[in-house]
Structure 1
Amino acid sequence: MGVRDWIEGWPVYRQLTGADPLGRGKAAESARSRALAPRTRSADRVVRSVCPYCAVGCGQKVYVRNGKVTQIEGDPDSPISRGRLCPKGSASKQLVTSPGRVTEVLYRRPHGREWERLDLGQAMDMIAERVLRTRRETWQDTDEEGRTLKRTLGFASLGGATLDNEENYLMKKLYTALGAIQIENQARI
């Protein structure tokens, strides 16, 4: 690298001799920053979604390349958030790309010390059997005075804030149909 190359590579020189006298544009760029490109530019497609963290429903743009999420940003077309995301929403890419994300069913037996992997079908069967058995054993058709109850106090539901409104709505419908009355959503609390 010669002296002339060094001087022309100096941002102050470019600022004084170029078309950027305030040094807010090209004059301030380094060779490294000129070579950078946004992660969103290389995406194969953009999928519109809703942030999963709370009940607000902020719009998101999910950038996908080769079937993998590369970036998640606020959706400026969303009438709710108008392109803005809170810190949790901005970090929601970690939900799907974190290497620590659990992607299989883990079960720890009563009094067990170790987690074991279960097949999803087996886990669903275990859950269904336990829900139906608890409902059967704790069902209250009437109270002491003969008033109709048709309910169970044997289980409850606390929907998570990472569930969207539709999922929480379906859970409310399911638990109401099963006769549960203790149904809440974490996003509302």
Structure 2
Amino acid sequence: MRQWISGWPVIRQITGDDPSGRGDAVRSAATERTAPRTARADKVTRSVCPYCAVGCGQKVFVEDGRVTQIEGDPDSPISRGRLCPKGSASKQLVTSPSRVTTVRYRRPHGTEWEDLDLGTAMEMIADRVIAARQRTWQQADDDGLTLRRTLGIASLGGATLDNEENYLMKKLYTALGAVQIENQARI
């Protein structure tokens, strides 16, 4: 009985050399056997949280090709290792069994979704962009003023795109003749 009681961390703290309870007094065999969830990761990839325009840094831990943990990146000058509740739940976004991982398409007036391969979906998008541009192209206005634009294409970019991605999006849509381009890069 005495040995069992002396094994309690609080008894070791009071009677031993660790009165603050921050060292050996609170360590047990179970504590020694534990390891961080991230210790077994095969690789760690730096990323950016996908939720808002702040751009908090994340470390993505991968084991056997699967994401096992996502934590704040302490080297990030923006978030310094901190994540909001949504950012902390990023792993659920990636690993949820209900996450859609295929291209889904519902035909006009259709009631059911169907899977498409990526190549087919990209061809459909390209064809529609070209058709919209041709159908809505304005070379000049009624007074003969040169416009060279389309109002049939617009872009509303995501807040999590970085400056380089926003730059490329702006170049693409400007080259297509679009004038309604918003990328939410207001910081």
Q: TM-score, normalised on structure 1?
A: 0.85
Identify the match of residue 99 of structure 2 among 90, 98, 101. 101
Matched, 1:23 2:18: no
Rate the CA distance shift 1:19–1:113 in 2: closer, same or farther, 3 A.
Answer: farther
Rate the CA distance shift 1:164–1:68 in 2: closer, same or farther, 3 A.
Answer: farther
Asked if structure 2 preserves the Cα contact closer than 8 Å seen for 1:55 and 1:165, the reply is no
Post-superposition CA distance 1:36-93 (Å, at most 9, x none): 2111211222222333333333332222222222222222223333223333332222
How far apart, in 1, do the equivalents of 2:92 and 2:152 lie?
35
How far apart, in 2, do the equivalents of 1:169 and 1:55 lie?
16
Rate the CA distance shift 1:114–1:25 in 2: closer, same or farther, 3 A.
Answer: farther
Match of 1:149 in 2: 147
Amino acid at match of 1:105: V
Rate the CA distance shift 1:25–1:111 in 2: closer, same or farther, 3 A.
Answer: farther
Match of 2:122 in 1: 124
Q: Which runs of 5+ in 1 are unaligned?
A: none
Matched, 1:168 2:175: no
Q: Which runs of 5+ in 2 are unaligned?
A: none
Q: How many residues align?
A: 187
RMSD of aligned alpha carbons: 2.4
Q: Which deviates more, 89-98 or 25-34?
A: 25-34
Deviation at 1:33, TM superposition (A): 4.2
Match of 1:37 in 2: 35
Written as runs of structure 1 = structure 2, the 5 A alignment for 1:35-114 is 35-114=33-112
Identity of aligned residues (%): 76
How far apart, in 2, do the equivalents of 1:90 and 1:165 lie?
24
SS for the counterpart of 2:100 is coil
